[in-house]
Structure 1
Amino acid sequence: MSEVILDLKNASIYQRESLVLSDINISINKGEFVYLIGKTGTGKSSFMKTLYGDLPLKEGKGKIVGEDLSTLKEKQIPFLRRKLGIVFQDFKLLNDRNIEDNLLFVLKATGWKEKNKMKEKVTQVLTKVGMKTKNFKFPYQLSGGEQQRVAIARALLNDPELILADEPTGNLDPQTSVEVMEVLQEINKNGNTILMATHDYALLLKYPSKTLKCDGQKVFEVVQKRAV
C-alpha cells in the first residue's frame, strides 16, 4: 500500500464567509508529483493556504502529513509547517542577509541548535539545487531563477514529507522555468512528494504528471493526453 500524504474527503474551502471550493475528494500518495492547475481566481491559492494552515478547513475531512486539518489548532500550525516545504512565487528571501544566513535563520527558527549540523544541512540542501558555491551572496545579487533555487533549498531544510510549490515559476522566463522544474523533478526522483500550483501549461506538456484542476468551485483530476 502506498502511504497517503494528503487526503481530502467532502472538503469545502472558504475565504472568510465565501465558498471558494466545495466537495473536494482527492488524495496524494508518497512520492507523487502532482500539478494543481486552474485560471486565476479559481481557488488554487486558497487550496494551498488551507493545506499549510493559513485558512481553516471548515467542512469535510482533511489529513496532511499525518495532521488533521479539520481539528487543527493555531498552536499546531508551526508543527504542521515543519513537515511541509513551502515554495512561493516571490521567493520570500530575507534581503539583509546572505543565502547561508537565510537558511540558518530558518533552522534556528525551527529549533535546530548545533552549529556544525546546521552548517552541514545548509551545504547539503544548497548542493541539491546547484547553489553551493553562491552561499555567500545576497538575494539581490542573484537572478530570479537562482533565488527560486534557494527558496527550494530552504523548503528542503527540515526533510519535508510534502513540498507545496505555489506558482514557483510564475515570475520566471520560460528557460529559467525549465531549469527550476528540472530541480523539482530531481528532488521528486529522490523521493520527495510535490504538489505544484501552476498556470504554465508548457511545463505540463514537457513534464506530464498527475494533474488536479480547480474549476467551477471544484477540484478534480484531469486525464492528461500524452504528447506524441
Structure 2
Amino acid sequence: MAESILTLKDVAVYQKENMVLNNISLEVKKGEFVYLIGKTGSGKSSFMKTLYADLPMKEGNGRIVGFNLKTLEEKDIPFLRRKLGIVFQDFKLLPDRNINKNLEFVLKATGWKDPGKMQTQIEEVLEKVGMKTKGFKFPHELSGGEQQRIAIARALLNDPELILADEPTGNLDPQTSVEVMKVLQEINKAGRTILMATHDYALILKYPSKTLKCDGQKVFEVIQKAV
C-alpha cells in the first residue's frame, strides 16, 4: 500500500470569515497524479492555500507530508513549504535577476549554504525541465511556457514530497500547455506526487488521472467516463 501524502477529514476551508468549502474528506497517496477541477470561484485556490498553510485550518483535521495542518505553528510553516513544491499560474519569477539567481535565491531562503551544492542542484532541476541552457537568461527573455518550466524547476529545488500546481497552464496557449503537462507527467513518473488545480478539460481528457472536483462547497472525486 502506498503511503498517504495528504489526508483530510471533515475539513472546512475559510477565506477570513466566509466558509468556502465544507466537509472535505479525501486522501492522496504517494506517487499519484491528481487533478482538482471546478469553476472559477469554486474554491480551488483557497483549497490549495489551506494545504500550504496560507489559510489556517479552522475545522476538521488534515495531514500533509507529515505535518498536522490543524496544529501547525507559524514557525513550522517554512519547514512544511520545503517539503512542498508550489507552482503558480503567474510564474512568480523575480524579474530583476536571471534564472540561476532566481533559483539560488530560493535555495538560500530555504537554508542552503554551500555554493557548489547549490549550483549542482540548480543544474539538475533545470535539466529535468529541459531548460539547462537557459540559466543565464532573464525571465522577460523567456516565453510563457519556458517561464512555467522554470517555475516547475524552482518547485523541485528542495526535492519535495508533493507538488501543488495551481492552474499551471492557465496563462498558456494549448500547445504550450501540453508541453508543460508533459514535464509534469515525467516528474510524476519519476515518483513525485502532484496535485494540480486546473480548468483545462482538454488536458484532463488527454492525460486522464484521478480527479477531484470543487462544486457547491464540496470537494469530491469524479469518476472519469471512458471517451
Common fold, TM-score beyond 0.5? yes
Aligned to 1:80: 80
Aligned to 2:17: 17
Question: Structure 1 segments of 4 or more deviating over 6 A?
Answer: none
CA distance in 1, matches of 2:46, 2:29: 21
Aligned to 2:52: 52
CA distance in 1, matches of 2:81, 2:89: 18
CA distance in 2, matches of 1:76, 1:117: 25
Contact 1:208/1:226 (<8 A) preserved = no
Question: Which amino acid in 1 is paired with 2:165?
Answer: A
Question: Which amino acid in 2 is paired with 1:168?
Answer: P
Contact 1:164/1:196 (<8 A) preserved = yes
1:115 aligns with 2:97: no
CA distance in 1, matches of 2:162, 2:41: 24
CA distance in 2, matches of 1:11, 1:91: 29
Quote how far apart the aligned CAs of 1:226 are: 2.1
CA distance in 2, matches of 1:136, 1:2: 40
* Number of residues of Structure 1 aligned to a counterpart in Structure 2: 227
Aligned to 1:2: 2
Give 5+ residue unaligned stretches, structure 1.
none
Normalising by structure 1, we get a TM-score of: 0.99
Question: Which amino acid in 2 is paired with 1:97?
Answer: R
Q: Secondary structure at the match of 1:211?
A: strand
Aligned to 2:160: 160
**CA deviation profile, 1:144-177 (whole Å, cap 9, x unmatched):** 0000000000000000000000000000000000
Aligned to 2:220: 220
1:175 aligns with 2:170: no
Aligned to 1:98: 98
Question: Which amino acid in 1 is paired with 2:62?
Answer: G
CA distance in 1, matches of 2:85, 2:8: 19
Question: Which amino acid in 1 is paired with 2:152?
Answer: I
Question: Which amino acid in 2 is paired with 1:109?
Answer: A
Contact 1:103/1:154 (<8 A) preserved = yes
CA distance in 1, matches of 2:163, 2:51: 11
Q: Secondary structure at the match of 2:2?
A: coil
Aligned to 2:200: 200
Q: Secondary structure at the match of 1:130?
A: coil
CA distance in 2, matches of 1:161, 1:32: 11
Aligned to 1:64: 64
CA distance in 2, matches of 1:42, 1:128: 33
Q: Percent identity?
A: 77
Normalising by structure 2, we get a TM-score of: 0.99
Quote how far apart the aligned CAs of 1:225 are: 1.1
**CA deviation profile, 1:198-218 (whole Å, cap 9, x unmatched):** 000000000000000000000
CA distance in 2, matches of 1:191, 1:127: 17
* CA root-mean-square deviation: 0.5
CA distance in 2, matches of 1:96, 1:21: 38
